[in-house]
Amino acid sequence: MDEADSGFREIEDAAAEKRRLADLNDLNNERNGDDVGRIARFLSPKARALARGEASDGKNGKRLSALELALLDPAYAFVYNAAVKENREAQNRAQAFQARIDDAIIHMQREIDGTLDKAITLPNGEKAFMNRHGEAWSADGDRVDDAIAEGFDWTGRPSLETYQDQKQRLERLEALSHEGRAMSLRLGEIGNDLDDRDHPLKKDEIDNLRAEMKSITDDIETMDRRLDSLVSDNSPGIQADHELAVVKTANLVPSL
């Protein structure tokens, strides 16, 4: 091999190495979600034809979306598909929680309605309860005059403590429902971000969303346990019914 051939080979090798480094740099950028406009070099012949807007038979066909192009990278596809699966599971978990707490709210409202039905009805139409100290209060929180209270037989009536406990539990259930709906909404937003075919997320963005979804799922599990405690029968108002003071007067009238 003469000196001219050797020099030509060195120049050719240097050019090939430069192209290899450029390809490697472009490929890494594309894998990270940075569009450098040269991803077609890394596609299969069929995918390259689709990316140009050509079908495999040479006719015009469907172009690959930006998300479909990104999914050609196995590493990106693995992370993306895992995130989609986790989002679907998290949304199902949130929906199951919401259905359960909606049922609990309906049940609690029925309990409150039943308690009001059993309460004393005052002459002005208001419902009233007596607390364990023998004091009568309206359902709206107004003190009932003793002279009016003495005209009723309070025996067997639900206590004020029972009514207040039910109302407080309903408020907590509604607060939990609000939290659950906010989490469900956020999971839906994440699902929409993952499904954006024109602006696919970068790998690190997907990693961050997976961590956020894990946190949301943990929060839902905690809320589920809080729901368990709210729907239990061990409410302080039940015991108060047994301790309710009975007002006795010489002029008791039939309960209304």
Q: Which of 30, 64, 98 is the last residue of a domain?
A: 64
Domain end, chosen from 44, 64, 84, is at 64
Clarify whether residues 92 and 181 are in a common domain.
yes
- Element (DSSP H or E) covering residue 144: none
Per the structure, the count of domains in the chain is 2
Question: Is 81 domain-assigned?
Answer: yes
Domain match, 60 and 150 both: no
149-197 pLDDT, tens digit each? 999 999 999 999 999 999 999 999 999 999 999 999 999 999 999 999 9
156 and 235 belong to one structural domain: yes
Q: Does residue 19 sit in the same domain as residue 90? A: no
The single residue listed with the structure tokens 């040269």 is: 38
Each as own residue / partner, the long-range contacts of residues 59-64 (CB below 8 Å, 24 or more positions apart, any chain) are: none
Give buried/exposed letters for 94-119 (b at 16+ CB in 10 A, else e). Answer: beebbeebeebbeebeebbeebeeeb
Token pair for 221 = 């599990």
Query: According to the model, what pLDDT value does residue 57 have?
Result: 42
Domain match, 104 and 214 both: yes
Distance CA 182, CA 178 (A): 6
Rounded Cα distance between 63 and 45, Å, is: 14
Amino acid (1-letter code) at residue 193: D
Average pLDDT, stretch 199-208?
A: 96
* 43 lies in the same domain as 144: no
The residue segments making up the domain with residue 204 are 74-243
pTM listed for this prediction: 0.66
Q: What is the dihedral of CA 241, 242, 247, 250, to 10 degrees?
A: 130
Give the start-end residues of each E strand in 124-197. 127-130, 136-138
227 Cβ contact partners less than 8 Å away, ≥ 6 residues apart: 97, 100, 101, 104, 173, 176
- Do 30 and 132 lie in one domain? The reply is no
Q: pLDDT by residue (tens digit) across 69-124?
A: 999 999 999 999 999 999 999 999 999 999 999 999 999 999 999 999 999 999 99
Q: Mean pLDDT across the chain, nearest whole number? A: 81
Classify residue 249: in a domain, yes or no: no
Quick one: 239 and 174 in the same domain? yes
Instruction: Give the tokens for residue 120.
Output: 């004393």
Residue with the two structure tokens 């997907």: 206
